[in-house]
Amino acid sequence: MRKFSFHPCGNYHENYAQELNIFETDFGRVCLGIFLTLLFFVAPFVVSPYMLYILNTIGIAAIAAIGLNILIGYTGQISLGHGAFFGVGAYAAAIMATRLGVGFYIAIPVAGIITALVGMIIGIPSGRLKGLYLTIATLAGQFIIEYVLIQWDSLTKGTMGITLPAPQIMNWQISGDKAFFFLIFVSLVLMTWFAVNIMRSKYGRAFIAIRDNDRAAEGMGIPIFKYKLLSFGISSFYAGFAGALWAYYMVSITTEPFNLGLSVEYIAMVIIGGMGNIPGAIFGATFITLLNEFLRFLTGVLMNVGAITSLGLNMAPLKEFVFGLVIVLFILIEPKGLAEIWRIIRSSFRLWPFSY
């Protein structure tokens, strides 16, 4: 019987393994267990289909945001092309499913890998460019990918869009929000687990070293170009994977949503959630998705109130305005994001009543 550990009143680590522990106490482990149990065995059966739809959207966004956080938050490379990477994943899965007829369990991971390759190609300038020059290069990548998706008619059917078959495993068809809920959230848990663990490995430490000072990292013998490419690769794998899930979930896709706005939305998730923090990416994805839904709901309500229809119509851009405002406020007031707020709340509970 293992001993239950409580929070020590200081840092009493005796070896590196302890330092690298994900959970400091068993209490955290138990909490996560309870949360996952509730998520998988209770949530899908009690909430309304609409709520389930929102949860699924959050799950997909969270996968992409975690990937982007690996690139921005941990490796310090800014990418404005993640919206396009998401689209590449979606189209890769759609094309594989319709043209080659492969199952979703192959199509989704392979879509991720294809996106990873595309991401690494877009990441090649990172060998020479840093900071804002790299940002502009990824911006160019975004536009070029968008162009290719629209213009490569023979493959992507251009603006017509592609309709995907329902994913099928053996004779069991995955359709409907509930079935997708399990597919998406099992993926999310796996991807989170992978991300948390890669950050504790040699690769994660190399990423962080590059973020903090790439010249010093190079001096320490880290081949920075290789690691930067790897980071681009992993990060776009996440984006592609999420895109593929999204394509199956939405059933039919067009090129329209994968624009610069989507890239910006993902960066906003990372910043609002907290850079360099994996749970933070999930918070950020939740926040932005809920904000979008709320604003859509608000617009809908205003439009339905007959008397002020014209006003309601004019409220649609409010979404854009509020979105910008939220980003600006977070950067000015809490640049460490929701993860920091969550940490403060948690530690004030833990330290109560002597919270200083």
Partner 1 sequence: MEFFLQLLVNGVCVGLLYGISAMGFVMIFKSSSVLNFAHGELLALGAFFFLSLVTWAKLPIIVAFILTLIGCFILGFLIERFFLRPLIGEKLIFVIMLTVGLAAMFKGFILLIWGGNLYTYPEFLPEAMGLKFGSIYIAPVYSATLIISVIFLVLFGLFFKKSAQGIYMRSVADNQKAALSLGVHVRRVFALSWAIAALVASMSGIVLGIINGVNVHDLSSIGLKVFPVVILGGLDSIGGAIIGGIIIGVLETFTGGYLSPSLRDVVPYIVLVFILMVKPYGLFGLVEIERV
| Binding positions for partner 1, rule: CB under 8 A | 72, 78, 125, 128-129, 131-133, 135-137, 139-141, 143-144, 146-147, 150-151, 260, 264, 267-268, 271, 275, 314-328, 331-332, 335
Q: Which residues are registered as beta bridge partners of 168? A: 173
Q: Which of 255, 228, 190, 226 is nearest to 72 (CA)?
A: 228
Q: Which residues pair with 252 in a beta bridge?
A: 163
In whole angstroms, the minimum distance from the beta carbon of 281 to partner 1 comes to 14
State the nearest-atom distance from the C-beta of 321 to partner 1, in Å.
Answer: 3
Least distance in Å: CB of 155 to partner 1?
16
- Nearest residue to 63 via CA among 40, 82, 42, 81: 82
What's the min distance (Å) between Cβ of 123 and partner 1?
A: 12
| CB hemisphere CA count around 313 (13 angstroms) | 4
Q: Measured from the CB of residue 296, what is the shortest distance to partner 1 in angstroms?
A: 14
Other beta carbons less than 10 A from residue 153's beta carbon: 10
Comparing CB distances to partner 1, the nearer of 43 and 303 is 303
Q: Is the CB of 133 or the CB of 297 nearer to partner 1?
A: 133
Which residue, 131 or 219, has its beta carbon nearer to partner 1? 131
CA distance 158 to 27: 52
Spatial separation of the C-alpha atoms in residues 266 and 264, rounded to whole Å: 5
DSSP 3: P
Nearest-10 Cα torsion for 319, 321, 324, 329: -110
Tell me 21's DSSP state: -
With respect to partner 1, which residue has the nearer C-beta, 75 or 286? 75
Q: How far is the CB of 273 from partner 1 (least distance, A)?
A: 13
Helix H or strand E segment including 168: strand 168-169
Q: What is the DSSP letter of 75?
A: T
Q: Which of 40, 49, 316 is nearest to 186 (CA)?
A: 40
| Nearest-approach distance from CB 340 to partner 1, in angstroms | 14
Rank residues 176 and 335 by Cβ distance to partner 1 and give the closer one.
335
CA dist., res. 104 & res. 208, Å (int) = 34
Query: CA quadruple 15, 218, 71, 235: dihedral positive or negative?
Result: negative
**Residue 159 or 163 with smaller CB distance to partner 1:** 159
Q: How many residues make up the chain in this entry?
A: 356
Nearer to partner 1, 39 or 148 (CB): 148
Nearer to partner 1, 36 or 160 (CB): 160
Do 176 and 182 contact (CB within 8 A), yes or no? Answer: no
Shortest reach from residue 185's CB to partner 1, in Å: 29
Query: Nearest approach, Cβ of 186 to partner 1 (angstroms)?
Result: 32
Which lies closer to partner 1 via its Cβ, residue 42 or residue 316?
316
